[in-house]
Structure formats: structure tokens, C-alpha cells
Amino acid sequence: MAKDENSTQADLPGHGADILPSVTVDSYNIEIEDQDGFIGDKASRAAFFEYVEKWRKPLKDLGEDPFGDKPTEELSKKKLAELLATGDPEAASLVLSAIEDFAQQLAFVIRRYLRSKEWRDTECISIGGGFRGSRIGELAVARAGLLLRAEDIDIDLELIRNDPDEAGLVGAAHLLPPWMLKGHDGILAVDIGGTNFRTGIVELNLGKSAELAKAKVVKSDLWRHGDEEVNREGATDRLTEMLQDLLAWARKNKIELAPVIGIGCPGIIKDDGSIDRGGQNLPGNWESSRFNLPQIIREHISQIGDSETMVVIHNDAVVQGLSELPYMKDRLRWGILTIGTGLGNARFTNRKVSKKAK
């Protein structure tokens, strides 16, 4: 979704805002299609396992499948990485072939994004998401980078620095102007995904870095809603319970939280905090005009400390990308791709660039 370049910064953070304290969000969740559908689907976690299945087939026909009767969708990235490192040559070559196919598709998707108006002149792309958190993912990203360089495409592909499970929490702190964080130890953050909800306390460590380079998750909780049959109300009730448990933990450990909850959520986020589209993998209908997650959370958690709670929500790829801000000070235009249930994407322009980058 492209953003209005003429927008001005507001004093308070807004839902799905295009102007944030340190960056302009040029676009997010762009939906480019070809004859096969959305091109982002070619570089998702599911796409990788389709390539594994493709290379299993000839071995299955010979009765030599290294995975036996286990369905491909039940294979773990850890097991595949072990086979690549220490398995017999045939099994290792199967995994290597799937990595190569996936890397080719990832390079194709990046080339196509770079041709779009929203992604033009991008200098660097960080790769995040759950798939990045494995050796398999790291090798696929490195191979895609080599393919692009071989075509003289001047783009740096980098792996997201924070743990992929925590980057979507850490990035929430960058949704807020610095004055809202001063005098506080941390914030509550939420990362909503297609298979799980993660909540956490992000310790800001502003005394060590005013730019949040030392921000880290000190306490978190995970609920895999994809493993349960749950409706929308049950899901939001569980989410608010997780947040209330973290509030109690913060009080017990004398961590003073800013009165803000930052949320990353799939889809296009409207300025009233509702989800326009893109929430189809969440439990229940999150795209209903009568559903507003920030409002529900405020009803359950009306105060943090002595202040009224503010909830700010943005696209999950945007929030995960913001965790990279301390490492992107020398870039002007950069992006994030999150490889998971789908392929999340966002492109940023830094509002303040270091002198040596100019």
C-alpha cells in the first residue's frame, strides 16, 4: 500500500501512520500479481516446502525418500539443516536443491519489487520472519543475494539482527516519539501472526542508547492460536490476559512501563485502528468494520501506571522492519521482507541520515 508523500508528522503516533519519528513508510503490503497470482506467495515458507516436496518425489518413486512416510508439511527446518550438514549426499542434495529453487524465486520477487515505484532506489533489504531464523533460511537469502549481484543489481540483502521472534516486539518502540518514552523503563508490545500471538516487555535501555539500539525483550509470552479452535472474541480475550500477566510481572519486578501498547498486525491498517484487508489468517473476521483491536485492548487495560493507556497499531512487517533502524542510519531508502506464512514487505525512507551517508 503506497503512502502519501505530502503527509506531515503528528505529535502523537497514529494507527498505520506513514510518518513515524525516524522514517517515512513509503509503502507496505504491496500486492503485485502475475499470471500465477501474488508474487509474494512464491517466496513464503509454504513455497519452500513445495520445493522440498518436488525434490522428494523422484526419491519416493525409487523407494529412497530420506524422510520416509512423514508428510513434507511436518518436516522441521532444523531437521532439514541437519540433513544438509551431516546427512548422506543424496539427502543433502535434496535440501540443497530446494534452497536453490527458493533462492531463485526470492531473487525474482525482489527484482520485481525493485521495479515498482514504491521500491525504486532501495539500497538495502533486511530479511526477517520465522524462515530467516534457520540455517536453511540464511543460506537461501545469501544465495538470492549472489544471484542479484551476478545480474549487477546493486542491493544489499541482510539478515535481521534481532531474533526474528523478538524483532516484531522491539520494533514497536520505534512507533513512538522519543518524548513518550523518556523516564520509562519499557513498553508493552504485541506481535500478531497468522499462527501465533506473541506479547512482550521491551526494555528500552535509553541510558545506553537514545536511538534504542540497546532495546531488548526481557519477558515474553507465546500463544499458538493456530493449534486451537478459537473465535475472534476468544482470541482477543486471551491476548488481553497475556498483556495483563505482563503488567503484573512488570509491577513485581519494578519495571516502570510507558502507558503505551505497540502492536504489529498483518494487513492494511486504517487510521482508526481497524484492518482494511490482509487479516484472513487470523481467528475469526478481523476485517469487520465493527471490530477494532486497539479499542478492545483499551477497554480491558484502561491504565498503565497512573496514565491512560494509548494503543498504536501498524502492519507487522513495518514494525519488524523498525527494529532495524539503529543499523540503517547510513542508508536513505531501505526495506524489509518477512518470510513466514506469507511474504510481508515494507519500504522506508530515513528522515534523518548520518553525515557520512550524504
> What are 216-242's pLDDT values in tens digits?
999 999 999 888 888 999 999 999 999
Contact indicator for 258, 209 with CB cutoff of 8 Å: no
Q: Do residues 203 and 308 both lie within one domain?
A: yes
| Tens-place pLDDT, residues 75-84 | 888 889 998 9
H or E segment to which residue 100 belongs = helix 89-114
Q: How many domains are contained in the chain?
A: 2
Q: Do residues 180 and 240 both lie within one domain?
A: yes
- The span from the CA of 285 to the CA of 340, in Å, is 21
- The pLDDT mean for the chain works out to 91
Q: Do residues 284 and 305 both lie within one domain?
A: yes
| Tens-place pLDDT, residues 244-292 | 999 999 999 999 999 999 999 999 999 999 999 888 889 889 999 899 9
What is the domain extent for residue 98? Answer: 15-161+324-347
Note whether residue 354 is domain-resident: no
Q: Do residues 180 and 232 both lie within one domain?
A: yes
The pair phi, psi for residue 158, each rounded to 5°, is: -130, 145
Of 5-14, 43-52, 259-268, 345-354, the least confident: 5-14
Q: Do residues 299 and 341 both lie within one domain?
A: no
